[in-house]
Amino acid sequence: MAVKVSMKVNGKPVSAEVEERTLLVTLIRENLRLTGTHVGCDTAQCGACTVHMNGKAIKSCSIVAMQAEGADILTIEGVAKADGTLHPMQAAFKENHGLQCGFCTPGMVMNALEFAKGHPNPTEQEVRESLEGNLCRCTGYHNIVKSIVAGAKAMAGGR
Amino acid sequence: MNAPLIGARIARKEDYRFLTGAGQYTDDVTLPRQTHAVFVRSPHAHAKIKSIRKDAALKAPGVLAVYTGEDLAAAKVGGLPCGWLITDVNGQPMKEPPHPCLAQGKARYVGDHVAIVVAETAEQARDAADLVQVDYEPLPAVVDASKARAKGAPQLHDNAPDNTCYVWALGDKAAVDGAFAKAAHVTRLELINNRLVPNAIEPRAANGSYSRAEDSYTLYVANQNPHVERLLMTAFVLGLPEHKVRVVAGDVGGGFGSKIYLYAEDVVVTWASRQLGRPVKWTAERSESYVSDAHGRDHHTIAELALDKDGKFLAMRVQTTANMGAYLSTFASCIPTILYATLLAGQYTTPLIHCEVTAVFTNTAPVDAYRGAGRPEATYVVERLVETAAREMKIDPADLRRRNFITTFPYQTPVALCYDTGNYNATMDAAQKLADVAGYAARKKDSEAKGKLRGIGYAAYIEACGIAPSAVAGSLGARAGLFEAGEIRVHPTGSVTVFTGSHSHGQGHETTFAQVVADRLGMPIENVDIVHGDTSKVLFGMGTYGSRSIAVGGTAIVKALDKIIAKGKKIAAHLMEAAESDVEYDRGEFKVAGTDKKKMFGEVAFAAYVPHNYPHDKLEPGLNENAFYDPANFTFPAGTYICEVEVDRDTGQVRIDRWAAVDDFGKIINPMIVEGQVHGGLVQGIGQALTECCRYDDESGQLVTGSFMDYCIPRADDVPSFKVDTRETPCTHNPLGVKGCGEAGAIGAPAALMNAITDALGVKDLAMPATAQTVWRAMQNRKAA
């Protein structure tokens, strides 16, 4: 059965015809062609599909699109400023070499954005624990941890 | 004049697109009239396929086609080839059973590709895949390599008796046995190098597309070497001319070896796109990756080291059984042989080495190169042996290593390789300092006061990178050349596009290679772009694996740059009315020696493309040069890793307290990127030693570790931050003096960590991965003994 869903994605109202079983991530990637949100597993472990729904980081592979009816969704494409300037958290990933192949990166950034709001000056251990639901196979996490510590501080400093 | 770019920590050029979601990975490519494919895979480890009924699937909504092995056979689609011929101890070629792209008659492992379903949407294809009725007759299966050779074991292939692919050996057995007979001490270990699943976070994907108008194909694929993929697919499987096939490996989300190979799915979607006249896309689900990506390692080894009374190594004897899985993957055969036994000298002067390897087929996924590929297995053998020997002989483990370090170069090992340069004492010294080995005794006391066990472990690894001199590789059985190609295209106003046959899937070539070019040409890095991963753009390429990109691909670029500068000198000499021999190039400027005459690089480029005043009688217009570079030798990165662990006596939980890594990668282009490569490699090595183990059920042959919930790749809170440093002995045979850094961490880490854990526990043997359960059991066994 096709159903119509409507929501706001990156500030813009969108609607799409989807199946009842269509996952939010499928709607984002296939219907909206926002391919920055990635799928790295089928067990909600890797976190590559992390987006914000109503301000909270969620795994978009783990809810169906219909559950996001009326919601405010933010994907990685909506994080930088309209003029293309990187958000301080994105900039921190770049400065600290917090990414290699880039596949887990959108999920890492989306998760870090939410974490940083509650942790303006996090310890390394707090950051490592916050990454429990995001897998990276390239960086060994060392520079992701550095990036998030720096990004959180930059966000708190109003950069 | 610009500051030197070689050696600078420059933030990566490619990061912006990845950080803003603008990367273009294979699954992100959706073509007009796109269709979607799902593969039907064998649920049995070993089964006869009696029949396949497609009709129910074909009637399902949206389904366009179902193809099986019979369809491929009728269309004369060949099987997957193996790129390296190993000759066995009797001079016979290895057994190469057919490896059909869709199973024919038999399925040989759980996940073996049996049929493809193509539909309008991925969901429809998935639904219909369940309706393909395959009548299997399950057969007994064998997943363990040693058991597969036993009498009465199920046989996988008619042409491989005893499931044996080959028995291969290197070294003088009689001389080695003689040395063992005279040894003052012999250390013996039985080692399992656990099977691993590579797990790049981007699952494999392929999107094949056929154009009737052009009679040509395009394959978008997550792959590390698109030209090799094209060559193998066209020449060996589909029988197509290469100029009719374009392979695009755009952004690739990690490889670690697993995306080197030509996989069946790549061939089948390409072939199917022509049958349907529409593009066919397949993207693996993670559970599919677990069963169908090429796995890594899986060795069972008996290793012995003979020493004299002073701890000098006299000889090494190694017997390894290597599990190849059900079929030979693209480079599977050379991993436990050429890339393994040749590294058994390590950093040491061991004069005699013998290694015998038995490669065995089992009902498991094919095994091939995974980060390090043979060299982690060799380092694990050497460094576990050396550390154990030091403990048995009561010699400090660092001291025992130093007594045996190679100190004069070039050094010809007894296992074929000739090391050009190195300084193993320098990396050992630096690592001991970085790790604060001097403070270890006090830290051990502190741990004991807390009721914890503490251990320290070393690994002094060496690897052979920059594969390879083609003639040497060819003489050892390689069916490919192993050079690299590069092209420098200077544009009329002086900016530069570089085309490289190397491929970046996380390594940062777009930055590192641009640094090399911009530095040599003396221009801002913004003026240089690197293009890779598309056979229609790049002239040729052997791709990225074995830490070869900078040493081989980077050198090809430097060779092309040399030609650009040589031609530029000729043009500049003409423009300045000087003798060519008087023109020098100095970072952005062609100068006439001894005068103030000069021409900027951009002026010369402009003259080449607007050749009004130009030496037409001697030179062609334009400024565009290619180079192919075939290395003179391997490169030999080496280093020392030292780690310290604390073990909880009650739970067996291992915590890595500190880790120091000092590597000698020769000259370094971008230290920030190099450090990132080391961090990532270390965590994959730590994963092998601490958390990761691929297990098949012995009876059923089912993969029991088939998801991120059962197979534990390290998470951020499983691992520490690292102290890393480098020492530089430049490679002697390439112009950049570079060696490669991509695999070191994964090569050295497992031995260092297992040496630390066995030190903490006071045990000799402990199997990887050292999970809390394994460690706790080892502690209980020790108590009981």
- Same domain as A147, residue A102: yes
Q: Nearest CB to B20: which of A43, A77, A97?
A: A77
Residue B27 contacts residue B265 (beta carbons within 8 Å): no
The chain-wide mean pLDDT, for chain A, equals 97
CATH code of the domain covering residue A63: 3.10.20.30
CB within 8 Å: B15 and A102:
yes
Please give the average per-residue pLDDT across A130-142, as a whole number. 98
- pLDDT band of residue A7 (cuts 50, 70, 90) is very high
Q: Which residues of chain B have pLDDT under 50?
A: 1
Chain B CB contacts of A134 under 8 Å are 716
A72 vs B: CB within 8 A: no
- AA letter at B613: N
Q: Nearest CB to B20: which of A19, A33, A76?
A: A76
CB within 8 Å: A43 and B709:
yes
Q: Which residue of B has its CA nearest to A29?
A: B28
pLDDT value at position B748? 98
Calculate how close chain A gets to B245, using CA atoms only, in Å.
Answer: 26
Please give the average per-residue pLDDT across A126-137, as a whole number. 98
- Same domain as A15, residue A50: yes
CB within 8 Å: A43 and B708:
yes
Please tell me the total number of residues recorded for chain B in this structure: 785
Q: Report strand pairing: A50-53 vs A72-74.
A: antiparallel
Q: Which of A29, A45, A76 is the last residue of a domain?
A: A76
pLDDT value at position B1? 47
Full domain range(s) for residue A8: 2-76
CB within 8 Å: A132 and B715:
yes
Please tell me the total number of residues recorded for chain A in this structure: 159
- Distance, in Å, from the CA atom of B117 to the CA atom of B536, rounded to the nearest integer, reads 29
Q: Which residue of B has its CA nearest to A28?
A: B28
pLDDT value at position B587? 87
Does residue A65 sit within a domain?
yes
- Distance, in Å, from the CA atom of B298 to the CA atom of B191, rounded to the nearest integer, reads 10
A104 vs B: CB within 8 A: yes
Chain B CB contacts of A36 under 8 Å are 20-23
Chain B CB contacts of A147 under 8 Å are none
Chain B CB contacts of A23 under 8 Å are none
- Same domain as A53, residue A12: yes
Which residues, at least 6 apart from B461, have a Cβ–Cβ distance to it below 8 Å?
B346, B347, B375, B379, B383, B638, B639, B640, B641, B744, B747, B748, B751
Q: Nearest CB to B683: which of A102, A131, A140?
A: A140
Within 10 angstroms of residue B704's Cβ, the number of other Cβ atoms is 12
- AA letter at B135: D
- Same domain as A152, residue A126: yes
Does residue A100 sit within a domain?
yes
Does residue A83 sit within a domain?
no
- Same domain as A94, residue A64: no
Q: Which residue of B has its CA nearest to A36?
A: B21
Residue B39 contacts residue B702 (beta carbons within 8 Å): no
Interface subset of A 36-65, CB within 8 angstroms of B: 36-43, 45-46, 48
Calculate how close chain A gets to B290, using CA atoms only, in Å.
Answer: 10
CB within 8 Å: B28 and A77:
no
For A86-105, what is each residue's pLDDT tens digit?
999 999 999 999 999 999 99
Residue B460 contacts residue B664 (beta carbons within 8 Å): no
Residue B546 contacts residue B467 (beta carbons within 8 Å): yes
CB within 8 Å: A97 and B721:
no
Residue B437 contacts residue B456 (beta carbons within 8 Å): yes
Three-state secondary structure readout of B675-701: HHHHHHHHHHHHHHHHCCCCCECCCCC
pLDDT value at position B100? 98
- pLDDT band of residue A159 (cuts 50, 70, 90) is low
CB within 8 Å: A97 and B673:
yes
A115 vs B: CB within 8 A: no
CB within 8 Å: A94 and B24:
no
Does residue A36 sit within a domain?
yes
pLDDT value at position B785? 83
Calculate how close chain B gets to A146, using CA atoms only, in Å.
Answer: 9
H or E segment and range at residue B606: helix B601-609
For A16-49, what is each residue's pLDDT tens digit?
999 999 999 999 999 999 999 999 999 999 999 9
Q: What is the DSSP string of B485-508?
A: EEEEEE-TTS-EEEEESS--SSS-
The answer, yes or no, to whether the previous bond of B414 is cis (omega within 30 of 0) is: no
CATH code of the domain covering residue A142: 1.10.150.120
Return the SS3 of B436. coil
Q: Which residue of B has its CA nearest to A100?
A: B506
pLDDT value at position A158? 72
Residue B311 contacts residue B395 (beta carbons within 8 Å): yes
Q: Which residue of B has its CA nearest to A48?
A: B201
Does residue A81 sit within a domain?
no
Q: Residue B721 — left, alpha, or beta (φ > 0 → left; ψ -120 to 50 → alpha)?
A: beta
Beta bridge partners of A71: none
Q: Which residue of B has its CA nearest to A131?
A: B716
Q: Nearest CB to A143: which of B24, B30, B676?
A: B676
Which candidate in A18, A28, A45, A103 is best for mutational testing of the B interface (most B CBs within 10 A)? A103
CB within 8 Å: B19 and A41:
no
Q: Which of A23, A46, A76 is the last residue of a domain?
A: A76
- Same domain as A109, residue A69: no
Range list of H helices, B107-209? 122-129, 145-148, 173-181
* Token output for B727: 């020492």
A90 vs B: CB within 8 A: yes
Chain B CB contacts of A143 under 8 Å are 675-676, 679
B242 vs A: CB within 8 A: no
Calculate how close chain A gets to B30, using CA atoms only, in Å.
Answer: 9
Q: Nearest CB to B19: which of A93, A124, A140?
A: A93
First-to-last C-alpha distance (Å) of chain B:
71
Chain A CB contacts of B286 under 8 Å are 40-43, 46
Chain A CB contacts of B21 under 8 Å are 34-37, 75-77, 106
Does residue A25 sit within a domain?
yes
Q: Where are the beta strands (DSSP E) in B108-161?
A: 113-119, 133-138
- Same domain as A96, residue A54: no
* Token output for B204: 């494999």
Name the domain count of chain A. 2
CA distances from B23 to A23, B279, B452, B494 (A): 22, 21, 46, 28
Helices and strands of chain A, counted as H and E runs:
5, 5
Q: Which of A52, A76, A100 is the last residue of a domain?
A: A76
Is the pLDDT at A68 greater than 90? The verdict is yes
A32 vs B: CB within 8 A: no
Which residues, at least 6 apart from B114, have a Cβ–Cβ distance to it below 8 Å?
B39, B40, B41, B42, B49, B52, B68, B69, B102, B103, B107, B134
CB within 8 Å: A128 and B287:
no
Does residue A82 sit within a domain?
no
Three-state secondary structure readout of B547-602: CCHHHHHHHHHHHHHHHHHHHHHHHHHHHHCCCHHHEEEECCEEEECCCCCEEEHH
Which residues, at least 6 apart from B130, have a Cβ–Cβ distance to it below 8 Å?
none
Q: List, in order of start, the domains of chain B with CATH numbers.
A: 31-139+202-253+259-292 (3.90.1170.50), 390-464+633-784 (3.30.365.10), 483-629 (3.30.365.10)
- Distance, in Å, from the CA atom of B605 to the CA atom of B622, rounded to the nearest integer, reads 8
Calculate how close chain B gets to A126, using CA atoms only, in Å.
Answer: 9
Q: Nearest CB to B716: which of A38, A95, A128?
A: A128
- Same domain as A14, residue A55: yes
pLDDT value at position B2? 62
Calculate how close chain B gets to A70, using CA atoms only, in Å.
Answer: 24
B19 vs A: CB within 8 A: yes
- Same domain as A69, residue A7: yes
Q: Which residue of A has its CA nearest to B12?
A: A94
Chain A CB contacts of B714 under 8 Å are 140-141
Residue B418 DSSP symbol: E
Residue B354 contacts residue B415 (beta carbons within 8 Å): no
CA distances from B754 to B385, B454, B641 (A): 11, 13, 12
Q: Nearest CB to A139: which of B25, B202, B680?
A: B680
- Same domain as A63, residue A102: no
Number of inter-chain CB pairs under 8 A, A vs B: 184
- Same domain as A7, residue A63: yes
CB within 8 Å: A142 and B14:
no
B655 vs A: CB within 8 A: no
* Token output for B730: 């430049």
Q: Which residue of A has its CA nearest to B721?
A: A142
ipTM of predicted assembly, 2 dp? 0.98
Does residue A121 sit within a domain?
yes
